[in-house]
Amino acid sequence: DVVMTQSPLSLPVTLGQPASISCRSSQSLVYSDGNTYLNWFQQRPGQSPRRLIYKVSNRDSGVPDRFSGSGSGTDFTLKISRVEAEDVGVYYCMQGTHWPWTFGQGTKVEIK
Amino acid sequence: EVQLVQSGAEVKKPGESLKISCKGSGYSFTSYWIGWVRQMPGKGLEWMGIIYPGDSDTRYSPSFQGQVTISADKSISTAYLQWSSLKASDTAMYYCARLRVVDTAMIDAFDIWGQGTMVTVSS
């Protein structure tokens, strides 16, 4: 199975400051159709997960533009340009390229 | 509004059977796959399996193959997750989510989620 490794696992951030989460895969996530099926999800406390980013860098409708995704191959990053209080929660990367699909362990973002 | 609405919380004893549901609305239920995701208390997300309600094509994550059964009734736009004999280790929140699949790739991953069903298994 493809292993998705996130870092850090815990990320204390000051309000208004940037935050960055890394996600590395044990194999390239480029599919045979040329697309890279790497997604990012946010799970706020007590809520269902919500998809933020799909195919590495595409923001879902309604997702603030302070969230951005980047990367290629095996190395991916989710960035929050200026953290707001509502961004507290756990963030997961997930690959949909290789069967069986796999999630990262999650990164907990909290306010300092 | 596109939504997935799950059945309510369950409290069961070890060895009992259980079937929880996920009802889709606001979109063509037979045009998307439905997946099930487990979240054990305080832990991360684990993908369990998927079903295509259009033809009931079902695929399981190897970790969950043989442990649960996924089914769907397209006439009522509802997918199900069931256990024949629950264990204490099945205690978790279970989410359903919508996705699109081509071959073995999840081309549109979990864009809509249900609110979750908490399953507690305790003697």
pLDDT digits (tens, 9 = 90+) for A45-86: 999 999 999 999 999 999 999 999 999 999 999 999 999 999
Nearest CA-CA distance, residue A98 and chain B, Å: 7
In this prediction, residue B108 carries a pLDDT of 87
In this prediction, what percent of chain A has a pLDDT beyond 90? 100
For the domain that residue A55 is a member of, what is the CATH number?
2.60.40.10
Count of A-B CB contacts under 8 Å: 67
How many domains does one find in chain A? 1
**CA of A95: how far to CAs of A3, A26, B66, B122, in Å?**
9, 11, 23, 34
A97–B105 CB contact, under 8 Å: yes
Distance CA A68, CA A101 (A): 22
β-bridge mates for residue B23, sequence order: B5, B78
Q: Which of B32, B9, B36 is nearest to B91 (CA)?
A: B9
Domain of residue A14 covers 4-111
Nearest CA-CA distance, residue A15 and chain B, Å: 25
**CA of A38: how far to CAs of A16, A87, A97, in Å?**
27, 20, 8
CA B18 from centroid of its chain's CA atoms: 12
B61–A100 CB contact, under 8 Å: yes
In this prediction, what percent of chain B has a pLDDT beyond 70? 100
